[in-house]
C-alpha cells in the first residue's frame, strides 16, 4: 500500500444532492480500498447510499459543523495528526490525487459541482453554534418551566419597558452577534447608574429584546458608546426628576442601508429600525445598569420618548449640512448623535414665504423652551421640516444663515425676564437685569431636518435643564 492509501479518507455527503448520488460507485471503490480507514458521513438520510454498508449518521450536523463543511460531497484526506487536503464536488483529478487511486471513477464525468451543505441552510449556522459551542456566550442562561409563556416570563423577570419584548434565545443572540466583528466578551464600558460592566454580548441581548435586526447592531453599539461619553452625563439624566431621556439622530449612508425613516412620520411609529434602535439603549440601561423607573429614575412625569426616541435626518439636500457635518464629520460618515431631550413641541407656520418671517416665528416658539423667562438654561434641537427648509433654500439661505438669524432674533434684555418681571416669580436672577441675553448658550441650538414633504410644520425638542458644559451636551459617535 502506498503512502496515499495509508492515510485516512473522510467523505461527507447528503442524499438530496445529485453529485453525491453520482459518486456512489466511487464511494464503493474507496470502501474496498481503504476498508477501516474511511469514514462516510451522511447529513440527511443515514440509509443513503444503499450500496454502502457502513455509514456514519451526521443528521445532527455535529461533524459537518466542527469540520466547516460548506459543500457536499467533500473529500478530506488526513493522517493521524492533521488534515492533508480536501476537495469539494466531484473533480476526478483531485479525488485521484488525494486518494492515490489513479483509476478512481473511470466511468464518471471529469467534473460536476457539488451542492450546499446542510450546515449552510438559512439560519442553521446560529442553531449549530448554539448547540455545539457551549462557551460562546457568557451570560447566565435562564431555563423556563415547560408551562411558562416566553413573553410573560420576560415581563415577570423585569426585562421589559412595559411593552412585550423578544425573548433573547441563544440562537437569536448569536445571530445578532454575527453583525459585528467585535468579541462578545469585549467590555464596551460601565453602564450607569450601577456602573456595571457591559459586554458586546449584553448589548446584543438587549438589541434582541428590543426587536432589532442584526444589521442594526452597529448603530446600537455606537449609541451605547455615545451615551457613555462623559459629556452626555447619562447617570445624571437617569436620576433627574425632569422629563428628558436620550434622543437619537442618525446621519449618513447607514440610514438607507438599514431602512431608517427620515420622511413621513419619522418621529412616530411604524419603522422598525427607528423604533427598536432607540428602545435597545433604554432596555440596556434598565437591564444592565439598573435604571428602573421608580428606583434611580425619578422623573416626575417622564415622556413617551423614554420608550424610544430615534430618527434619521433627511439628507436629500446636499447643500444643507446635516447634523454630523455640523459636528465635524464628513457627509459620507455614518454617525449617531445623542441629545438629552424631552417631548416634541410643534411650530406651525403655513403663511411665511420669506425666510425673515419664518425665522421670527420659529424664534418666538424657541423662547418657550423650558420657560419663556429662562435663558441659557437648556439646549434644544430645532427640527426643520422639508417644506420650511424649502422656504430658506429658495431664498438662498444656508443652515448657517438660519442659525445666525435665529441667534439675532433670540436676544432679549435681561430686565424683561428676571424673576418678578411681569408678576411672574420664575425667571433669571436679578444680576442679569442690565445684560443682553440669548436664549441659548454657544453651541446650544442644533438644527436638523426630517419629516414628510407636505406640511409646513416644524418642531422643537427641548433639552434637559442641566444642559451645557456642566451638564449634558449633544454627543456624536461614528458608526463602525
Q: Which residue has the cell 418621529?
A: 267
83-88, strands of its sheet edge to edge: 56-57, 38-42, 8-13, 74-78, 83-88
The DSSP secondary-structure symbol of 197 reads E
Determine whether domain 3-120 maps to CATH 3.30.200.210.
no
Domain ranges of the chain: 3-120
What per-residue confidence (pLDDT) applies to 300? Answer: 92
3-class DSSP string for 57-92: ECCCCHHHHHCCCCEECEEEEECCCCEEEEEECEEH
Q: Label residue 1 by pLDDT band (50, 70, 90).
A: very low
Is the bond into 193 cis (omega within 30 degrees of 0)? yes
Tell me how far apart the alpha carbons of residues 94 and 96 are, in angstroms, rounded to a whole number.
5
pLDDT in tens, 63-117: 999 999 999 999 999 998 999 999 999 999 999 999 999 999 999 999 999 999 9
The DSSP secondary-structure symbol of 246 reads E
What is the pTM assigned to this prediction?
0.89
Q: Label residue 3 by pLDDT band (50, 70, 90).
A: very low
Tell me how far apart the alpha carbons of residues 340 and 436 are, in angstroms, rounded to a whole number.
27
Q: Among 280, 269, 283, 94, which residue's Cα sits nearest to residue 179?
A: 280
Segment 161-168 shows an average pLDDT of 96
Q: Residues 6 or more apart from 12 whose CB is under 8 A from it?
A: 40, 41, 43, 58, 63, 64, 67, 69, 72, 73, 74, 76, 117
Amino acid at each position: 500500500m502506498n503512502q496515499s492509501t495509508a492515510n485516512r479518507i473522510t467523505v461527507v455527503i447528503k442524499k438530496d444532492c445529485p453529485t453525491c448520488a453520482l459518486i456512489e460507485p466511487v464511494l464503493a471503490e474507496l470502501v474496498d480500498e481503504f476498508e477501516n480507514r474511511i469514514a462516510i458521513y451522511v447529513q440527511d438520510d443515514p440509509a443513503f447510499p444503499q450500496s454502502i454498508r457502513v455509514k456514519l449518521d451526521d443528521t445532527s450536523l455535529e461533524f459537518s459543523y466542527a469540520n466547516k463543511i460548506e459543500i457536499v460531497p467533500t473529500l478530506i484526506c488526513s493522517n493521524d495528526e492533521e488534515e492533508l487536503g480536501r476537495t469539494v464536488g466531484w473533480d476526478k483529478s483531485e479525488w485521484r490525487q488525494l486518494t492515490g487511486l489513479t483509476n478512481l471513477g473511470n466511468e464518471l464525468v471529469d467534473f460536476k459541482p457539488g451542492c450546499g451543505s446542510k450546515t449552510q441552510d438559512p439560519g442553521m449556522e446560529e442553531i449549530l453554534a448554539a448547540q455545539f459551542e457551549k462557551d460562546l456566550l457568557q451570560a447566565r442562561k435562564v431555563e423556563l418551566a415547560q408551562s411558562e409563556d416566553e413573553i410573560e416570563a420576560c415581563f415577570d423577570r423585569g426585562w421589559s419597558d412595559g411593552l412585550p419584548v423578544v425573548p433573547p434565545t441563544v440562537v437569536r443572540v448569536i445571530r445578532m452577534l454575527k453583525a459585528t466583528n467585535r468579541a462578545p466578551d469585549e467590555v464596551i464600558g460601565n453602564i450607569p447608574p450601577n456602573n456595571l460592566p457591559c459586554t458586546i454580548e449584553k448589548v446584543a441581548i438587549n438589541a434582541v429584546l428590543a426587536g432589532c435586526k442584526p444589521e442594526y447592531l452597529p448603530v446600537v453599539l455606537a449609541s451605547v458608546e455615545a451615551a457613555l461619553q462623559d459629556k452626555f452625563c447619562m447617570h445624571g439624566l437617569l436620576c433627574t426628576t425632569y422629563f428628558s431621556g436620550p434622543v437619537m439622530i442618525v446621519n449618513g449612508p447607514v440610514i438607507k442601508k438599514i431602512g431608517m425613516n427620515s420622511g413621513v412620520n419619522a418621529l412616530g411609529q411604524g419603522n422598525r429600525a427607528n423604533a427598536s434602535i432607540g428602545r435597545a439603549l433604554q432596555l440596556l440601561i434598565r437591564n444592565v445598569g439598573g435604571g428602573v423607573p421608580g428606583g434611580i429614575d425619578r422623573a416626575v412625569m417622564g415622556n413617551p420618548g423614554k420608550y424610544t426616541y430615534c430618527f434619521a435626518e433627511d439628507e436629500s439636500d446636499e447643500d444643507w449640512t446635516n447634523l454630523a457635518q455640523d459636528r465635524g464629520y464628513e457627509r459620507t460618515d455614518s454617525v449617531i448623535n445623542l441629545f438629552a431631550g424631552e417631548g416634541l413641541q410643534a411650530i406651525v407656520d403655513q403663511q411665511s414665504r420669506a425666510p425673515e418671517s419664518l425665522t421670527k416665528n420659529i424664534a418666538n416658539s424657541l423662547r418657550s423652551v423650558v420657560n419663556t423667562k429662562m435663558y441659557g438654561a437648556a439646549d434644544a434641537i430645532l427640527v426643520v421640516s422639508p417644506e420650511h427648509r424649502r422656504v430658506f433654500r429658495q431664498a438662498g439661505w444656508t443652515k448657517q444663515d438660519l442659525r445666525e438669524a435665529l441667534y439675532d432674533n433670540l436676544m432679549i434684555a435681561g430686565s424683561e425676564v428676571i424673576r418678578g418681571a411681569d408678576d411672574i416669580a420664575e425667571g433669571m436672577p436679578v444680576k442679569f437685569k442690565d445684560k443682553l441675553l440669548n436664549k441659548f448658550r454657544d453651541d446650544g441650538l442644533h438644527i436638523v431636518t426630517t419629516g414628510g414633504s407636505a406640511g409646513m410644520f416644524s418642531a422643537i425638542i427641548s433639552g434637559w435643564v442641566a444642559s451645557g458644559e456642566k451638564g449634558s451636551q449633544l454627543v456624536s459617535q461614528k458608526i463602525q
